[in-house]
Structure 1
Amino acid sequence: MSVTAHINAIGTAVPDQDIHQAFIGWARAQLRDPRQAKLFDRMAQRSGIAHRWSVLPQVTGSPVDPEGFYADSWPTTAQRMGIYSRAAPDLAAQAVDALAAKVSLDGITHLVLASCTGFTAPGVDQILAQRLDLSPSVERLLVGYMGCYAAVAALRSARHIVRSQADARVLVVCVELSTLHLQADSELEPLLAMLQFGDGAAAALVTSDPSGLAIGQPFSTNLPASGDLIRWDLGDHGFAMHLSGEVPGAIGAALADPAMLPVAPETVDSWAVHAGGRSILDAVTHALHLSDDALNNSRAVLDANGNMSSATLMFVLARILEGPPPTQGLALAFGPGLAAEGFPFTGVQP
């Protein structure tokens, strides 16, 4: 008999330092051409983002102000990873605490952790398992460097585990510290890419217990000739994000193919689309002929937190879990490749 995996609950966490306005002021100052500076201001105002949060050390101003992390010289990758190794487990633990306030975490059998913004060994999964006092026999899986769609990969893996072991209780965690990777740049496109990203973590419990959201058959596709549109390049001074302005158009063109999605868009009453940016959400809306409010959950997450890479989709799903059970939902995320991944879901009626 087939077993259905369910996302029973989701807890979320962000740091307490809002760096969005400070970044806008810094980025504007990098642009030497006044016309580009005005264009940046206009794009920032239209970004759909009001706040982005950072784990960087608190100072009297912001990370780009005097005494801030980025004030005097550009930190090395080693310095950035030093913060990641401490802050990523802390933020992940906060998300798990938020999850534990909603559902019992007794008897966890598996831990799946996704992150693309840092490396450390022992891994964040091991550090978190010890901090949570999980059994040494808990099976761990680290989903690394997949980018914004890694939440789908993590939840998909949890689904496979539950379907093969009906009594499994899988803790899924996404933690991303994107603000560790500010780059010295004076070009408009990379500054607009950096404008999107913030830090955040989310934790979900996935089991066969029929509560929350039932996860359907996942899907995945790579868009042809799109490998250079989204990249993370590892350098001596952090990870440099390349996010082409062509991404929304490529996504819109792909979604124009009816075979792209496993369910017809007109049957979906709950959309969980990765909030990668306003232009991406607009491209999805237009390509699928959705109503103006169809992606409200994604837009609300973008406004409050920016793009938190893999954690973002989990924040959107958390909002859906707070509302009435959907009849037919669809999760959809995009990332390096350019790849699109997702899964249908349905709400469990009380």
Structure 2
Amino acid sequence: MAQRSGIEHRWSVLDGGNGSPTTQGGFYGGSWPTTAQRMAIYADAAPILATRAVAALADKVAIDGITHLVVASCTGFIAPGIDQKLVTMLGLDPTVERLMVGYMGCYAAIVALRSARHIVRSEPDARVLVVCVELSSLHLQDDARVEPLLAMLQFGDGAAAALVSAGPGGIALGQPFAMTVPDTEALIRWDLGDHGFAMHLSGEVPGAIAQALAGTITLPIPANSVDLWAVHAGGRSILDAVARALDLAPDALDHSRAVLRAFGNMSSATLMFVLARILGGDARGQGMALAFGPGLAAEGLTFHRADT
């Protein structure tokens, strides 16, 4: 399963002492940790990883004058939230307006970017900092069944940050769209238990996505008019299903496959990594961002990267 996953490396905030959190003395090296123990690590590690993502963003663009902060995360709960912690840790103005996008799963990056777009369209002077941070490795389960093992195999930790404003440069965020696919609510599910969040990822998900793209989900523009695809790298079979359903060129999802190969599925942060790869390349034109998650639901938006 690991060899066929299309994933060469995944990252974790956990320190196993000998290279793996499953070794003796590591987080999973003894008895299985409780949800409280997992959340204690989340409370410390998630804000730190998020600030590193913002620092990486600051190396590329000025992030002064932030008026709004939108944070997405589904792998932990703390109060005061990560959004409030980041205001202090980043030295933001304490009057910054905050929005926490919680427990929406892999498509939360779209929701966060869409929310930032709405803010900027209503307040043209707004400068919105968007942060996605996920610590999926905190939620390994003591389960030897094939489907749970496959779900756990996909996920790693990651964080990403973006600045959304009315200024020039980068990519222009366009029309958002959303669709909850009927009769699929059992296919992707997080269950909160005494030993973390148990991910249920059915083997029927790729087929359901392909079927939905062929009939239920209406894209705002035709697939054959899209030059740049930013599809959430949820897994090799999911990317294959999207490519087949939309009849995409063999290289259309190269950015998504590269992110999957290097980082695995980082839930909400994953799509941001794909967009970062697009921003780092030379390709221009009409784009489409698309992600899937609990529901089964699809969230997306169009974007455009101009020549200047």
Structure 1 vs Structure 2: percent identity of aligned residues?
71
2:177 aligned to 191, 213, 219, which one? Answer: 219
Name stretches of at least 5 consecutive residues in structure 2 with no aligned partner: none
Distance (whole Å) between structure 2 residues aligned to residue 75 and residue 234 of structure 1: 14
**Residues 231 and 243, structure 1, Cα contact 8 Å, conserved in 2:** yes
Tell me if structure 2 keeps the 8 A contact 1:325–1:346. no
Structure 1 segments, 4+ long, off by >6 Å, are: none
Pairing of 1:72-111 with structure 2 (within 5 A): 72-111=30-69
Which residue does 2:238 correspond to in 1? Answer: 280
Instruction: Say yes or no: does 1:154 pair with 2:112.
Output: yes
Counterpart selection for 1:253 from 211, 216, 222? 211
Deviations, residues 279-325 of structure 1 (Å, cap 9, x unaligned): 00000000011111100000000000000000000000000001125
Q: Secondary structure at the match of 2:100?
A: strand
In structure 2, give the amino acid aligned to 1:65.
T
Per-residue deviation at 1:326?
Answer: 2.5
Match of 1:7 in 2: none
1:61, 1:68 within 8 Å by CA — same for their partners in 2? no
5+ long unaligned stretches in structure 1: 1-42
**1 CA distance for matches of 2:107 and 2:147?**
22
> Secondary structure of 1:44's match?
coil
Of 252, 257, 281, 1:323 maps to 281
Query: Contact between 2:9 and 2:262, CA under 8 Å: does it hold in 1?
Result: yes
1:155 CA displacement: 0.3
Distance 1:164 1:66 in 2: 54
Q: 1:62 touches 1:68 (CA, 8 Å); kept in 2? A: yes
Letter in 1 for 2:116: A
Number of the residue aligned with 2:70: 112
Which position in structure 2 is the counterpart of 1:193?
151
State the match for 1:164 in structure 2: 122
TM-superposed deviation, 1:59 = 0.6
- Contact 2:154–2:265 (CA<8 Å) still a contact in 1? yes
1:142 pairs, out of 55, 76, 100, with 100
Q: C-alpha separation between the residues in 2 aligned to 1:103 and 1:261? A: 31
**1:348 matched residue in structure 2:** 306
Native 8 Å contact 2:178 2:300 kept in 1:
yes
What is the aligned partner in structure 2 of residue 35 from structure 1?
A: none
List per-residue Cα deviations over 1:90-147 (Å, max 9, x = no partner): 0000000000000001100000000000011111111111011100110000000000
Amino acid paired to 2:134:
E
Is residue 2:226 matched to residue 1:264? no
**Distance (Å, rounded) in 2 between the aligned partners of 1:324 and 1:307:** 25
Q: Is the 8 A contact 1:173 1:203 kept in 2?
A: yes
Residue in structure 2 matched with residue 129 of structure 1 by the alignment = 87
Is residue 240 of structure 2 the alignment partner of residue 298 of structure 1? no
Find the residue that maps to 1:48 and give its secondary structure.
coil
SS in 2 for 1:129: helix
Which residue of the partner structure matches residue 203 of structure 1? Answer: 161
- Which is worse superposed, 287-296 or 253-262? 253-262
Shift of 1:327: 1.2
Mapped to 2, the partners of 1:125 and 1:193 lie a distance apart of 28
Q: Which amino acid aligns with 1:63?
A: P
Count of residue pairs brought into register by the alignment:
308
Q: State the partner residue of 1:64.
A: 22
In structure 1, what is the Cα distance between the partners aligned to 2:250 and 2:4? 16
